[in-house]
Amino acid sequence: MIALVHVYGLAGVFLAGVAAMVLRDRSNPRRFPSALFWGLLSVAFLAGDALPSQLLGAMVILLAVIAGCGGLRAGERTPVDPVRLRERAAALGHRLLLPVVLVSVLTLCIALGAPRARIAGMALISPVQTTVVALGISCAVAWAVALRVTRASPREALDGGRGLLESVGWAALLPLLLAVLGVIFSRAGVGTVLSDLLTSGFPLDSRTVALAVYATGMALLTMVMGNAFAAFPVMAIGIGLPVLVERHGADPAPLAALGMLAGYCGTLLTPMAANFNIVPVALLELRDQHAVIRAQALTAIPLFACNFLLLFLFT
């Protein structure tokens, strides 16, 4: 059975290869702490289930110390001749898009077909986190197809991945850490505390006020946590269920969907959403670190107003 642990294993092998290449890169002024960073992350992916939680926690702290002290740096890379790059792209044509399309199409097909994929009565793909497993399989297939199309070697692919990770740096881990933060907030009872504070501070007997607090809280908490999925359980426990659903009789389905959309408006406005707002800045080498956020603000603000209107009309 192909399970999430196998996807994590592939990621761990890739990160181990990145760590080895960084360690051998003498042009990198921080090659030892950088290699340690990616190596520790590789160990977490490869053997996280087998390691004590205290050791994993210490590793996470060490990762934060390395990143916070400027231990992550990129080595010097040979610039690619733009003329040669355009010539190769023209020769390959639309075949360059095949690996990208495969990731989306295969993920959908595998996720939908997983319940029926069986060998000798045993499920071929784990029913737990099926979509993530399907994405991992699709990425592996797309990688093989990309090597075939471009005639590149696995080492070249690994080196390209290393360059991408070095460009993004520590921000590549921020979505993972923010997801963990959401779990911690939920288990610590932040939603209950938030409900008590908001109940005493706002007239939540008014449905309109309660909806405004719910939508605004989703956006603001998402801006703080960087992840609408992390903010949602806190706001749902604090305002959504006890106030809007139980007290005002709101329909939970549109309440949840439109609440998430309000949170996504906050995603467009915060550097904490690194995969949306910081990673593109690094990849495009933009001078303004907040260029993406500035461009999205004109969309996020009116979109939030529309979401609130829909909440008022349909919940």
Q: Where are the domains of the chain?
A: 4-68, 82-152, 174-314
**In whole numbers, what is the pLDDT of the chain averaged over residues?**
84
Read off the tokens for 225. 């946590």
Residue 155: pLDDT over 80 = yes
- C-beta separation of 265 from 219 below 8 A: yes
Read off the tokens for 4. 């999430």
Note the pLDDT tens digit of each residue in 10-19: 999 999 999 9
pLDDT given at position 235: 84
- pLDDT, mean of residues 217-226: 86
- pLDDT, mean of residues 75-97: 79
Task: Print the SS3 string covering 72-119.
Answer: CCCCCCCCCCHHHHHHHHHHHHHHHHHHHHHHHHHHHHHHHHHHHCEE
- pLDDT, mean of residues 240-248: 88
Read off the tokens for 54. 């205290």
pLDDT given at position 95: 85
* CA 291/CA 170 separation, integer angstroms: 19
Q: DSSP characters for 257-272?
A: HHHHHHHHHHHTT-TT
- C-beta separation of 66 from 36 below 8 A: yes
pLDDT given at position 315: 80
- pLDDT, mean of residues 270-297: 81
* CA 160/CA 152 separation, integer angstroms: 11
Locate all alpha helices (DSSP H) within 114-189, ordered by sequence: 130-150, 154-168, 174-187
- Picking from 243, 241, 264, the residue whose alpha carbon sits closest to that of residue 253 is 241
DSSP category for residue 50: G
pLDDT given at position 302: 92
Residue 195: pLDDT over 70 = no
Residue 191: pLDDT over 70 = no
Read off the tokens for 47. 């053997």
| Helix, strand, coil share of the chain (percent; to 5) | 80, 0, 20
pTM tops 0.75, yes or no: no
- pLDDT, mean of residues 97-119: 86
